């Protein structure tokens, strides 16, 4: 967002008149530069969405909810190639004739690759490098784009069957085309005796919640909490209606706490935010939130990278903490007796 602000103010990015759309928007310096313009934002990651909402910006969750015919479409494309290309094609569809496409990408997030993709799709109008990022843009759009390529790219992040058709997922979602090793280790360690009301924190596309209801006959309800809306949409598809287990799906930032009380909580907590740097503070906050939300007899089962330092927080918030499994660089820990 700093690099984008520089490009808008001093980096040679041509001005436009009319609606600006900002895809994968987040708070930052560029919003100050865009202040006063007609602006609509899109963000499917709940913490960033809420931050934009607190700034009283018009923000939607899904790209499909945005108004078309924009004079300028700006995006912060993701690292995942298929998702990024689909985003470029969506930007093109949202732009008015004569409009402009703008991308801002960190150098270590694939800036050069995305710039080549934009050039292939619509041609390059200019670029600038600042703050370890590249900002690049199209010339005014006048039908010079490759429509067949745009159509192919638009379909690249569409939901599709995975794991032999048992589940559905889409590029860009965490471990989108496989069961990640950490979640598999946790699922195998879950005792069949777990029972009552359960929650899955950071539920992704629904694998752990599905394994919990299959392996533990005493589970009566599962609430899935997931911050990434694109992943939660897949979880809704993957966990079919179950007469035995009541299911709840919540687009929710777990670090802000939980609305209910539970007998069982499972989690493969994220250790990254929107950037690439490790964020063990997120996992520690998940532990804190789980302890607050568990009933006195409740159990918390989590998996994490072996090197992440969660044991101290677990010991502070639970009277009993046990290592249950280890493998592939991951550890499964069970905690009970939540402390205030």
If phi > 0 it is left, if psi is from -120 to 50 it is alpha, else beta; for residue 199 that is beta
Radius of gyration of the chain (CA): 22
Q: Is the pLDDT of residue 167 over 80?
A: yes
Q: What is the mean pLDDT of the chain?
A: 95
Query: What integer pLDDT is reported at residue 11 of this predicted model?
Result: 84
**137 strand-pairing partners:** 102, 126
* pTM (global) more than 0.85: yes
Give residue-wise pLDDT tens across range 170-195: 999 999 999 999 999 999 999 999 99
Arithmetic mean of pLDDT, 319-340: 96
- Contact between residue 42 and residue 87 where contact means Cβ atoms under 8 Å apart: no
Using DSSP's 3-state secondary structure scheme, residue 120 falls into: helix
If phi > 0 it is left, if psi is from -120 to 50 it is alpha, else beta; for residue 206 that is left
Cβ partners under 8 Å of residue 32, min gap 6: 5
Domain with CATH 3.40.50.150 in the chain: 2-154, 160-338
Using DSSP's 3-state secondary structure scheme, residue 39 falls into: strand
pLDDT tier, 335 (very low <50, low <70, confident <90, very high otherwise): very high
Give residue-wise pLDDT tens across range 263-318: 999 999 987 666 666 788 999 999 999 999 999 999 999 999 998 889 999 999 99
Nearest partner of 315 among 335, 294, 290, judged by Cα: 335
DSSP 13: P
Query: What integer pLDDT is reported at residue 273 of this predicted model?
Result: 63
The arrangement of secondary structure in 160-338, i.e. its CATH architecture, is: 3-Layer(aba) Sandwich (3.40)
Q: Which residue has the higher pLDDT, 278 or 36?
A: 36
Residues above pLDDT 70, as percent of the chain: 98
CA distances from residue 56 to 17, 31, 227 in whole angstroms, order as listed: 22, 12, 20
The arrangement of secondary structure in 2-154, i.e. its CATH architecture, is: 3-Layer(aba) Sandwich (3.40)
Q: What is the C-alpha separation between 304 and 294, in angstroms, rounded?
A: 20
Query: What integer pLDDT is reported at residue 261 of this predicted model?
Result: 98
The first and second tokens of residue 118, run together, are 């934009």
Q: What is the C-alpha separation between 72 and 281, in angstroms, rounded?
A: 37
């Amino acid at each position: 967002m700093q690099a984008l602000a520089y490009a808008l103010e001093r980096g040679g990015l041509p001005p436009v008149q009319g609606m600006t759309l900002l895809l994968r928007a987040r708070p930052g310096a560029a919003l100050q530069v865009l202040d006063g313009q007609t602006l609509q934002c899109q963000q499917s990651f709940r913490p960033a969405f809420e931050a934009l909402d607190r700034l009283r910006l018009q923000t939607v969750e899904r790209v499909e909810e945005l108004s078309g015919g924009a004079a300028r479409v700006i995006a912060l494309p993701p690292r995942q190639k298929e998702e990024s290309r689909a985003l470029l094609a969506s930007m093109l569809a949202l732009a008015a004739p004569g409009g402009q496409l703008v991308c801002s990408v960190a150098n270590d997030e694939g800036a050069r690759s995305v710039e080549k993709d934009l050039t292939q799709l619509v041609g390059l109008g200019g670029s600038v490098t600042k703050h370890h990022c590249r900002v690049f843009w199209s010339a005014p759009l006048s039908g010079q784009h490759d429509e067949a390529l745009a159509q192919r790219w638009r379909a690249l992040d569409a939901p599709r069957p995975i794991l032999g058709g048992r589940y559905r997922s889409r590029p860009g979602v965490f471990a989108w085309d496989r069961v990640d090793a950490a979640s598999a280790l946790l699922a195998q360690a879950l005792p069949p005796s777990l029972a009552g009301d359960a929650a899955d924190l950071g539920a992704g596309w629904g694998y752990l919640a599905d394994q919990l209801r299959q392996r533990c006959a005493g589970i009566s309800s599962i609430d899935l909490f997931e911050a990434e809306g694109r992943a939660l949409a897949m979880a809704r598809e993957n966990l079919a209606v179950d007469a035995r287990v009541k299911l709840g799906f919540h687009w929710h930032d777990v670090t802000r706490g939980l609305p209910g009380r539970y007998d069982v909580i499972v989690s493969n907590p994220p250790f990254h935010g929107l950037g690439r740097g490790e964020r063990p503070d997120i996992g520690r906050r998940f532990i804190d939130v789980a302890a607050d939300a568990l009933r006195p007899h409740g159990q918390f089962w989590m998996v994490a990278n072996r090197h992440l330092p969660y044991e101290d927080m677990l010991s502070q918030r639970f009277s009993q903490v046990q290592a249950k499994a280890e493998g592939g660089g991951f550890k499964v820990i069970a905690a009970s007796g939540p402390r205030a």
